[in-house]
Structure 1
Amino acid sequence: MLGSQEHILSKIASNDGHGENSAFFDGWKAYDADPYHPTQNPNGVIQMGLAENQLSFDLVEEWVRNNPKASICTAEGASQFKDIAIFQDYHGLPEFRNAVARFMEKVRGDRVRFDPDRIVMSGGATGAQETLAFCLADPGEALLVPTPYYPANDRDLTWRTGVELVPVISDSSNGFKMTRDALETAYKAALESNTTVKGLLLNNPSNPLGTVLDREALSMALSFTNDKNIHLICDEIYSATVFYEPGFVSIAEILAESPDANPDLVHIVYSLSKDLGFPGFRVGILYSYNDAVVSCARKMSSFGLVSTQTQRMLASMLADEEFVGKFLVESAARLGARRAALCEGLAQMGVGSLKGSAGLYCWMDLRRLLKAANFEAEMQLWRVIVNDVRINVSPGASFHCAEPGWFRVCFANMDEETMRVALSRISKLVVQSKSGEARKQCRRRSKLEISLSFRRLEEIMMSPHSPMTSPLVRTMT
């Protein structure tokens, strides 16, 4: 039956370009099939594979209760129902675009300004990424993407557009930092394979690393793309999740400081899914300095608009500067405290993690738990973690990491007690691994001691001073 269905469907509908056949999504399926609950299902799978910000919902709920007029679904806001329910231009409500532009400025410390007329709405960052891919590249053309990178980029940017992604390799030797040499190497390899490179995609702050790109790295990237006359796309959806120094620097700041750079080549992807914790609202933003891209993207946005009801409520919320200021400070503090608790708990059991200052996750180092230094061993360990330890974490291979043994662990989508349970489970894994290694070492020592014993016996027997070589022994034998 499946074969006949595939025959009547389009190639896009029937191929596996969505990327669901990967460990990244398989872990989610394991959680969905048997989710952890502290009382109803204490042996279920704990979800640490979802980068969701739930630590400051109380602040949002308080604002919603105190501002009932913001919603058309309340008695206080119902009088606006008709105006919001009827057709709206796909440019978006002016008050919404103004509020989003101001919020983006606030998140960036008011160091840059954003033009509301350059803001294009989209159904989440997923839609914004795909829209940009459609605008900037034709099927078969490519974007450079530093590794490790978010697994769904393979879906968002390539599945329906036909655009290709070319990895820019980085590793732990320099903390997975992007270098000019790595960019040049990837660019050259693409050209040698007759692939046209149309742009460079950066995720800042990084998912999965939890690191930020400093001014030097961003300036280097801008210089590289200008030299090659290709686009620079900066995915900044985690910009308000920075909780330690170094702080966040937007490509908008670097562009403003670079008079020789071509602004037509610079584009920003943003959303409210991570910074505010509203992934269900599907609010994505494409901000481009290129007039043609803004015009085209706005036409394409009709395929994934944000509902006017959502726009209206968020416009009211984001225009409340007192609330926004309080939220940004408190959210960052809570994220920093939660990450510190996770990393400290891992460190106490001897598990390292990459130093980071942002995001809803940490990049956990389990290389020493691998049975071998390859990705097959990484998948074996991941299966143990999901099936036996009962935690969904995401293996580095799904992020195109060049080194086996790294895992992304999310910490902001659960309460403190659930995280304590998760740390306890990870600790048991480490202890069992150490015990197993200790047993192996003991067996190796035993074999070595036996081998040495035989060797010493042989040396003694062959020595001229050995009693086995004496005339008495020979005559006795």
Structure 2
Amino acid sequence: MGFEYNFKRGDSALIFVESGENKETWEFKRVKGESGRQWLDELRQEREHMDHICTLSAWTSWVTGAVLQRLLSTHSLYQRLKRKLIMGLLSRKVTCNSHGQDSSYFLGWQEYEKNPYHEVNNPQGIIQMGLAENQLSFDLPESWLAKNADAAGFKRDGQSILKELALFQDYHGLPAFKKALVDFMAEIRGNKVTFDPNHIVLTAGATSANETLMFCLAEQGDAFLLPTPYYPGFDRDLKWRTGVEIVPIQCTSSNRFQITAPALEEAYQQAQRKNLRVKGVLVTNPSNPLGTTMRRDELDLLINFITDKEIHLISDEIYSGTVFSSPGFVSIMEVLKDRSLEQTPVWERVHIVYSLSKDLGLPGFRVGAIYSNDPIVVAAATKMSSFGLVSSQTQYLLSAMLSDKKFTKEYMAKNHKRLQKQQSKLVSGLEKAGIGCLESNAGLFCWVDMRHLLSSNTFEAEMELWKRIVYDVKLNISPGSSCHCSEPGWFRVCFSNISEDTLKLAMQRLKSFVDSIAINDQSHQELKNSRKKFRTKWVFRLSFQSFHDREQDER
């Protein structure tokens, strides 16, 4: 059952269809002139492999049913949307689903926000383990601020500079902050490499940095290759506004999800088959969601690959300061210099993305950066940065903090110890629940293996398990499918955004859940064995009776 609204606009009609017994699925279809029926027939055929396909008016953007359900949640909103669609007042971006908001990665956050755990006010709520946020070391910058009144109060030598900071600043950024930032980047890398502040572009976080690089390096319809699994937000950051396509480099658990030459070449050829021009490769090192650092031979492989293909390499190194155990972190810039590639064309085709969101735990400050040896990219990205500047107040405060080498050294040492301790507690809790994970040495999360808990080796079974963990166990974790993992049953579990006590509770909940699955499986097996035993006895009796009857007949 369903109903349709037809809105005439020239020779076109916009059809809204509400279907499903609970009216949960909304579909928009466009028909035009005499070819409308044929168009709808083709659409129905496509639906065999595309879920909830919709199109708005004369647009060709695809939208999921969940998005439409929210858009049309109220009659007044529905009427406004209808009117604006007919008048052509809205762009396709308004309803374009490439933002990725309907990914289970974001849906888990939404469920958490409806029922957030609080040890006193809501002890039965959902525990947030899907957020890569470092809340373990806030006391360290707080202590620094208490000791540095000038920086905290926007003063210089005791005199207020609020007016100076509040007025318009050069969008190139404050020189003092850019110098402090590149020095901090070098410190994280053991001062094995240095960075020129003239080559850095400040952005409002790594999200802005990655998108800006897409605008600088690629055209709409071009492609970047990304190794799987990768950060779910890249579907938004790289694609939504730029129109750039992502082609996955399929990595597997057989070699700890490391990049191989055949996987790189296959991804490149796949893009070629789709008539996509490959403009580069983007990697996250240390990896999100794996929590591992890339080996030097992997980095060498990437440099050789982009040299051969004459394309770019973006190394997202926003977790470079979270490495808490060996092997250590190797920056792509270090490999370039070790191979003496400074005077070669590849030198200008390698770009680094950095941020203070993870290493200093300051995502709300929105401090990101692009580092490039290509002056043209630096100039273009600097112009684009005017759409997402870092505030002058933030730059002033952090320039003072990062210039304090005693503080940065102490912070990095203590933060590493805290991350390692919390990660160890997560791994231990998982082991008690009979769950393993990929051995990690960096990041704010673990890549957890729950393949043995799946009802079948499918992504549908993974989603079923994820829903049970979110709604029954009340833990928000990220399913591997949201990270485009090639194998079902892997999950990203964050550990640094919650307290030690909350982590302990989360592991207790998870263990109880796994134990209940084992009990149910055992009961099911016992019932199965009982039925089998009953059938065996019944067959034996039947056979014996048949033999006895034949014996009587023969007599």
Per-residue deviation, 1:72: 3.7
Partner residue, 2:252: 171
Counterpart Cα distance in 1 of 2:391 and 2:298: 37
CA contact (8 A) 1:210 1:356 kept: yes
What are the ranges of 5 or more consecutive residues in structure 1 without an aligned counterpart?
none
Per-residue deviation, 1:402: 0.7
Matched to 1:302, the amino acid is: S
Matched to 1:13, the amino acid is: V
1:99-152, Cα deviation, whole Å (9 max, x unpaired)? 000000000011001001111000000000000000000000000000000011
SS of the equivalent of 2:160 reads: helix
Per-residue deviation, 1:429: 1.1
Partner residue, 1:81: 162
CA contact (8 A) 1:68 1:76 kept: no
SS of the equivalent of 2:456 reads: coil
C-alpha RMSD of matched pairs (Å): 1.6
Q: 1:279 aligned to 2:279?
A: no
Counterpart Cα distance in 2 of 1:446 and 1:259: 71
Q: 1:397 aligned to 2:481?
A: yes
2:399 equivalent among 299, 315, 335: 315
Counterpart Cα distance in 2 of 1:3 and 1:226: 51
2:460 equivalent among 376, 383, 393: 376
Counterpart Cα distance in 2 of 1:318 and 1:368: 46
Partner residue, 1:145: 226
2:527 equivalent among 438, 443, 449: 443
Counterpart Cα distance in 2 of 1:223 and 1:455: 68
Partner residue, 2:493: 409
1:355 equivalent among 439, 445, 448: 439
Partner residue, 1:3: 82
**Percentage of matched positions with identical amino acids:** 49
SS of the equivalent of 2:98 reads: coil
Per-residue deviation, 1:74: 7.0
Partner residue, 1:204: 285
SS of the equivalent of 2:243 reads: coil
After TM superposition, list the pairs within 5 Å mapping 1:244-283 onto structure 2. Answer: 244-260=325-341, 262-283=346-367
CA contact (8 A) 1:71 1:312 kept: no
Q: 1:110 aligned to 2:191?
A: yes
Q: 1:67 aligned to 2:169?
A: no
1:211-253, Cα deviation, whole Å (9 max, x unpaired)? 1101110011111111100000000000011111111110010
Counterpart Cα distance in 2 of 1:403 and 1:208: 14
Per-residue deviation, 1:5: 3.8
Partner residue, 2:56: none
Matched to 1:287, the amino acid is: Y
SS of the equivalent of 1:8 reads: coil
SS of the equivalent of 2:247 reads: strand
TM-score by length of 1: 0.96
CA contact (8 A) 1:119 1:287 kept: yes
Per-residue deviation, 1:177: 1.1
Matched to 1:180, the amino acid is: A
Figure out how many residues of one structure are paired with residues of the other and give that number.
471
Per-residue deviation, 1:18: 1.4
CA distance 1:390–1:76, shift in 2 (3 Å)? farther
Counterpart Cα distance in 1 of 2:473 and 2:222: 42
CA contact (8 A) 2:154 2:160 kept: no
CA contact (8 A) 2:155 2:162 kept: no
After TM superposition, list the pairs within 5 Å mapping 1:159-198 onto structure 2. Answer: 159-198=240-279
Partner residue, 1:326: 410
Per-residue deviation, 1:189: 1.1
Q: 1:155 aligned to 2:236?
A: yes
1:2-57, Cα deviation, whole Å (9 max, x unpaired)? 33345421112221221111111111011111110001111111100000001111
Counterpart Cα distance in 2 of 1:451 and 1:251: 66
Q: 1:20 aligned to 2:114?
A: no
Matched to 1:81, the amino acid is: L
CA contact (8 A) 1:212 1:248 kept: yes
Per-residue deviation, 1:175: 1.1
CA contact (8 A) 1:72 1:78 kept: no
Partner residue, 1:452: 536
Name which structure has the greater RCO, CA cutoff 8 Å, separation 6+.
1
After TM superposition, list the pairs within 5 Å mapping 1:206-225 onto structure 2. Answer: 206-225=287-306
Q: Pick which of 447-456 and 269-278 moved more.
A: 447-456
Partner residue, 1:474: 553
Matched to 1:3, the amino acid is: K
SS of the equivalent of 2:214 reads: helix
Matched to 1:334, the amino acid is: R
2:115 equivalent among 30, 34, 37: 34
TM-score by length of 2: 0.82
Per-residue deviation, 1:444: 2.1
CA contact (8 A) 2:224 2:246 kept: yes
